């Protein structure tokens, strides 16, 4: 799955988060989706649920 598909699927998942408090099941689902996504060499992903949305940030790996 590419980055756009990951963002869309996480956005759909985020719609079920109430009061900005994702449950353990939300996090498990988010991590499963992120694991299916194509890796970005030299970067790690950060998933955050914010105000009914899910955001994905790429961070470069430290050397």
Closest among 5, 2, 3, 54 to 30, alpha carbons compared: 54
Q: Quick count: other Cβ atoms within 10 Å of Cβ 48?
A: 13
pLDDT range class, residue 62, cuts 50, 70, 90: confident
pLDDT digits (tens, 9 = 90+) for 15-47: 888 777 888 888 888 888 888 888 889 998 888
Q: Break the chain into its structural domains and give their ranges.
A: 3-60
- In the prediction, which pLDDT does 42 show? 93
Identify the three-state secondary structure at position 44.
Answer: strand
Give the single-character DSSP code of 6. Answer: H
The residue with greater pLDDT, 50 or 22, is 22
**Token pair for residue 20?**
């900005």
- Residue 4 has, within 13 A of its CA and on its CB side, a CA count of 0
Q: Which residue has better confidence, 3 or 32?
A: 32
Enter the DSSP assignment of 38: P
């Amino acid at each position: 799955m590419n980055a756009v598909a990951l963002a869309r699927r996480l956005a759909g998942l985020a719609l079920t988060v109430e009061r900005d408090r994702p449950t353990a099941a939300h996090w498990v689902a988010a991590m499963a989706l992120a694991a299916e996504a194509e890796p970005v060499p030299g970067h790690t992903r950060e998933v955050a649920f914010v105000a009914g949305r899910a955001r994905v940030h790429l961070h470069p790996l430290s050397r």
